[in-house]
Structure 1
Amino acid sequence: MSEDRESKTEAASEKKISDAIAEGNTPFSREAPVFASILGLLIFLVFVARDQGLPLVQRLALILEQPRNFSVETSHDAMRLVHALALETGRFLLPVLVILLVAGIAASIFQNAPRVVFDRIQPKWSRISPVAGWNRLFSVQGFVEFGKNLFKFFAIGGMSYMVLHADRHEIVNVMFVDPVGLPEFLLTLSVRLVSAVSVATIALVAGDLVWTRVRWQRDLRMSRQEVKDEFKQLEGDPLVKAKMRSLAQDRLRKQMMAAVPRATMILANPTHYAIALRYDQSENDAPTVLAKGADLIALRIREIAEKHRIEVVVDKALTRAMYDHVEVNQAIPAEFYRAVANLLVYVMTRKRR
């Protein structure tokens, strides 16, 4: 297994990455939704709990302080009391459940686009195999998970201890001296605790996001033989060939347009063809073709030339004759030397004026 991993030294190809994503194999940090839920809980405590929690506590206290108003003599009375308590509690808990759900979903979508992959939910023996589970436990990922849990235990425990230790005198005072202020104090304490926990887990979440992506890319690495086999397979695919041709044409087109401003002159067949030529005795013995194109590409070449004040020479016969016999980034054939030389003399003369 280790030898197989050591042989996979090449980065995953675009095809392997797209295949992995299509199969549902994507980098996913389980800590991110947990952290988002903690932040959601903090938002609930700060913006919702104060307005809804304190009135709820007061209503529940009323039930406990005035039990005569809620006599439980029959099963119907008991059900009515349970229903009232459940309704009050449900109104309070519904917002927090919605916030936690939305936060968890948002954190998941932030990492990967949502998709349904039925292969991922099909039962597999490797998921429940004791041998596979034992191997996972003592794998690199197993030790990483152990380290994360250890970090959470000490970080969250330490932050919680510091908050509670700092408020220890106030806790005793509220519980035994001023119990009326207990709900308000518990809310404030909860906000401080959740804030401390969220701060303690920021580094863990950031590290886990990076680690999951690095591990995913490492697991998708390919051997040189796999790269060669995949390339051979793609070479025979007509769709891939067409895509590669299209990409090559786009790349060549961009290179040509970028080279037009360096041209000495543009040879044109007014609207259908255009050839950008450059002549510099210090570079080449003959004029070089920087770009050529027909119709829309020819029009674009002329537009760039006019923008950079490059002379456009219209010679319908010469342009058409040269178009099929010249290649980009190559010198023009010898048979066109005299005709092009005459045009270059004309262009140079106009520039001197």
Structure 2
Amino acid sequence: MDGLITKFEALGLTADKAKEAAGNKKLAPTLDGLITATGQSSFSKNTGMLLYKLAAKVTKEKTPHGDYIAQAIGSGRLGSDEQVSAATKFCSKNDPTADEKAFDAACGVGVVVSDAEISAAIAGVLDSFKDTLLAERYRALGRALGKVKSTAALQWADSGKVKSEFDAQALALLGPKDERDDPAAAKKAAKKAAPKAASAKSAESRGWEPATLESMFAEGEISRLHKVGENPQIKPELTAEHLRATGGQVITRFPPEPNGFLHIGHAKAINVNFGYAKTHGGVCNLRYDDTNPEAEEQVYVDSILEIIRWLGFEPHQVLYSSDYFQQLYDLAVQLTERGLAYV
């Protein structure tokens, strides 16, 4: 174990982190193998961190070409998180040794985005958001940053430089945060504002429009979710079986526990599960996680369904975890009888 700790410290890990990694039965052999694949014994901090992150996400089943990616990191062909993520995605479906040019193109190998190009791309995005930013100030900054991150010209740019330049240009445009950006101050101002009708009219005159359900799933990380059947499986027949069972349709589920009323914390899960399915022409099932009968009441069951419908969604099916209890019990008995489980 001491040898592994020394190896991992050479990546730039702290002594404690190296010891923790060496003691991880899943991570340690993977990271050790990737280090060996590079043919090197010392690394820059950036290279070391990329190898460490790679070890945390690859498996031989899902990424059979992990050693190839490690060699590309060690040689400097891959030098950023974005490139390594692209490499793991490419290698999950392709053999990089069969077409290295395709690998290089997919991972941005050799692409250098200059500081001037970063600055120009960000300036262009902020200019397109200028009216909104001046009206909403820092409240609208997240949307602008999301647009910057999805800009093709910045795909292979250093993310740290992009964020620093974005912050600098935003500060130059808006100035430091002040009372206009203070939620507490905004709340006080709202109390003194005109009646709701006047406020709505004012908002309308500024061109504000409510976001559509479709737009929610067309931007940001959630827009990058895989299509049905595109997520790699250890066994290809599992994908085929999944597609047969679903008919290639998006099927999601919302699984609340019927031991209390829904609250604002459930809003994200409801919108994502029902909204994603609806946007992609799929269905969402409401499945009550009724595994704690002592705390469950019919009033909660009824209330949950009522609120979901009030939000504009309709479950495809209403199911209960308890529907499967007997099947789970029977499977447990079979496993025990076959010596694969015990009580």
TM range (shorter): under 0.3
Give the alignment's TM-score, normalised by structure 1: 0.19
Give the alignment's TM-score, normalised by structure 2: 0.20
Larger radius of gyration: 1
